Structures are given as structure tokens and as C-alpha cells.
Amino acid sequence: MDPKKPIIALDFSNQEDLFNFLQQFEGQQLNVKVGMELFYAGGKPFLERIQAQGHDIFLDLKLHDIPNTVERAMAILASTGVAMVNVHAAGGKEMMAAALRGLEAGSNGKRPLLISVTQLTSTSTDQMNQEQGIPGEVLDSVLRYAELTKAAGLDGVVCSPLEAAAIKAACGPDFLTVTPGIRLDSSVADDQKRIMTPAKASRSGSDYIVVGRPITQADDAVATYHQIVSDWSGQK
């Protein structure tokens, strides 16, 4: 998965709309993110159809269960040939280590990158404090989860671009930060709370950026994508 290219979040309600969208990029290799809705509907054949077009997939299923279940599930996901998968850091160190074991056991050759979700970019401090029962600032929780993720042997975390620099300082420069919540200056924030432009995210230490609606809902998706590529890769 090329870090100089943004990961496009394919948040479509059906496969027809998704492949109509991808048709605009014929002949180009993309990094794309497939979430729960589309994967549960289409399964492995759906992933294979995307891969047949030359695209690399971040399979965003956020596994969170007992260690044994997550380990066996990861062994199955490894066989799909996707480039990146994830778990919830809230599942704990033992669960994350089990996920890594399963991924390594199920991989035929190079295993997918394995990252954890710290706090969702839709989470506010008040929500974290009141609903999750976690005191302090969001950054405190994110750093705790990031350090736990590193201790479990994973490659990195999903986090807000606002937290990438602090995570690099705490976990080292080789620990990956994958950051959604990316918006151009002209884009609306939607339901994201902690957002940043591509150029600022690059300067803040993001290794990969995830961009959805600013591209998929743009009047000219291809032009917007290349604008984001330029803004992002030009800073790297």
C-alpha cells in the first residue's frame, strides 16, 4: 500500500455505486478502505473484484472479541490478500497479540499491516468522559492505547491527525499512524470532530490518510482525488 496515496473510504451503500465510482479511476492503482457494511454483504468475492482492478485494500472491520476468536478470524482474513486490517485497542494487549498471531499464521507470504483503533475521530472529550467513563482528555486515552498497541507488536494505530505527532513521540518514528478525519479547506466536517487538511496531516506525522466523502461525494471525484494527492504527497 503506497503511503504517498490517500486511502479512499468506499462508504457506499451498495456495490453498484461503488464500482461506478471506481470506473472513473480506470487504469489507476488506488488505496481503498472497505468497511463492515460492504464486506458483510459481498464477502471475499467482493474483495477479489476490487483487487482484480489493481487496488490495495484496507479492510476496516475493527475486530473486538475474546483473543481466541480474534486470532482465528484474523487467520481467515489473512487469506484475502488485503494490505491492511485492524482491531480495537480496547480489546487489550492479549487480544491484539492474538490477532497478530492469527494474521501471521494465515498469511501466505507477506502479512497485511495490522493496526488498532484508538478513539474514533467522531468521539468528543465529553462523550469519552460521560459515555465511556474514561476521564481526562482524548489524547490521554489515545496515547495509552497506542503504547499498548506497540507493546502487543502491532504496526501502528488509527488516530486523529491531531494526535499523530504525540504518538510518534511516544512510540517512535516507525510506528504507523493512519489518520481519518482529513478534509480540504473547502470541505464540510460531516460527523468528524477532530479533522485536518492533507498537508497539515503530513507535517504532523501521519503515515497514511483516509479520505471518504470529500472524494466520493465530490462533483469531480477524480480531480478532487488528485488535488488531495498533490496536497498530501507534496509535503512528504
SS (H, E, C) 53-83: CCCEEEEEEEECCCHHHHHHHHHHHHCCCCC
**62 catalytic per annotation:** yes
The answer to whether the beta carbons of residues 36 and 63 sit under 8 Å apart is no
Residues 187, 227: contact at Cβ < 8 Å? Answer: no
Between vectors from CA 120 to CA 98 and to CA 84, what angle results, nearest 5°? 45
Which residues, other chains included, contact 234 with Cβ-Cβ below 8 Å and sequence gap of 6+? 199
Q: How many CB atoms lie within 10 A of CB 136?
A: 11
d(CA 128, CA 133): 6
DSSP 103: H
Q: Of the residues 62, 150, 168, 193, which is catalytic? A: 62
Q: Residue 116: CB partners within 8 Å, gap ≥ 6? A: 86, 87, 88, 89, 96, 145, 149, 152, 154, 156, 157, 158
Decide if 103 contacts 76 (C-beta within 8 A).
no
Q: Which amino acid appears at position 103 of this protein?
A: L
Q: Please, are residues 117 and 87 in contact by the beta-carbon 8 Å criterion?
A: yes
Q: Which residues are catalytic?
A: 62
